[in-house]
Amino acid sequence: MIPHDTRFDEEHQYEDTYAGLPVIEMVPHHDVEIPDAGGVALLISCGWGDWDLDEAFDALLNGVDTAKVPALVIGGWEDCYETSSEHIVGRLADAAARFPGLRSLFLGAISSDQAEISWIQQSDVTPLLEAFPRLERLEVRGGTGLELRPVRHESLRVLRFETGGLPAEVVRAVGACDLLALERLDLWLGVQHYGGNATVADLAPILSGERLPALRHLGLQDSEIQDEIVGAVASAPVVARLESLALSMGVLTDAGAEALLGGQPLTHLHTLDLHHHFLTDAMAARVAEALPGVEVDLSGREKPVHDWRYVAVSE
């Protein structure tokens, strides 16, 4: 079971640890001491001109007992002239038989000093789910060029898309997937200017929960239509069996919070994450008072700039 209080920061959450494991970078042409390949998350990335991602991947294949590798972190292709997300997804999918123990995968470990989140060029990530039927955790950073096709997957427990703009086609594909073991789903929906064009209607299959029988955490975050989303969540069937709910990072106002309080009971939740919001003090107090047994995160109260409300992560 995923922990109740798993909180993902907006930046740099994969530099030191991933999936509870220390991160060690594969450095081509150097001896990298890896005492136990089964106890670390291995990072392959471009070396700021010293090596490209293919060389790092080759170092992984040739220098590590890949059968023991439980977690991979992939990033930095933005600095490789002839490497792309599509290329590395293909290489990894082709080598899937070499990684029978892989359970966690993060694609796009690219910090903002390398490329802003909406500058990251992604691709179709469906081959990763098809090639790794025992994968339990897939996290992707960057929404530009991102694609997903509906699949059936019986092992995936965590699915997370971090974007400044998540394409509606990807949202609809998530809703059309049969993810029988999925416990945690996080979608940073972002803004239309960066491709975040999903509507509440696109979220309907997810909110029904019909294809997500094991879901215990739902994050619909970072949206410029956060009030509309919260209004739909207030009556969504999936909410009754959730343990935690994240409606944070967006432009939530008193209108959205009013709809949430007027909807189905939320007292069964362990946590409700609303951080980065535009609630008045009075409404924030009402939310906290209405949910005395729930850990409610109301941190990060923002103020409009000339009536403009902004999401936490966009460019």
- Go through the chain and tell me how many residues it has: 315
For 227-251, give the DSSP string.
HHHHHHHTT-GGGGG-SEEE--SS-
Place of tokens 């106890």: 39
DSSP state of 301: B
Which of 105-114, 172-181, 274-283 is predicted with the least confidence, judged by mean pLDDT? 105-114
If phi over 0 gives left and psi between -120 and 50 gives alpha, with beta otherwise, what is residue 12?
left
Task: Using the predicted structure, report yes or no on whether residue 80 has a pLDDT greater than 60.
Answer: no
Q: Nearest to residue 73, comparing CAs of 36, 28, 26?
A: 26
pLDDT of residue 29: 72
Quote the CA–CA distance of 135 and 151 in Å, as a whole number.
13
Confidence of residue 84 (pLDDT cuts 50, 70, 90): confident
DSSP assignment of 121-176: B--B-HHHHHH-TT--EEEEE--BT-B----EESS--EEEEE-SB--HHHHHHHHH
**Residues 124-167: tens digit of each pLDDT:** 999 999 999 999 999 999 999 999 999 999 999 999 999 999 99
End-to-end CA distance of the chain: 33
Let me know: does 282 contact 193? Beta carbons within 8 Å. Answer: no
pLDDT at 13: 65
Q: Residue 10: what pLDDT?
A: 44
Q: What is the dihedral of CA 227, 246, 250, 201, to 10 degrees?
A: -50
CB 66 within 8 A of CB 97: no
Cβ atoms < 10 Å from Cβ of 30: 11
- 161 Cβ neighbours under 8 A, 6+ residues apart: 139, 140, 143, 146, 170, 186, 187, 188
Instruction: Tell me: pLDDT of 6 over 50.
Output: no
pLDDT digits (tens, 9 = 90+) for 180-222: 999 999 999 999 999 999 999 999 999 999 999 999 999 999 9
Nearest to 218 by CA among 276, 266, 263: 266
Beta strands in the chain (DSSP E): 17-18, 21-25, 41-45, 71-75, 104-107, 137-141, 152-153, 158-162, 178-179, 184-190, 217-223, 244-246, 271-273, 295-297
Select from 292, 241, 296, 293 the least CA-distant residue to 264. Answer: 241
Backbone angles phi, psi at 98, to 5 degrees: -80, -10
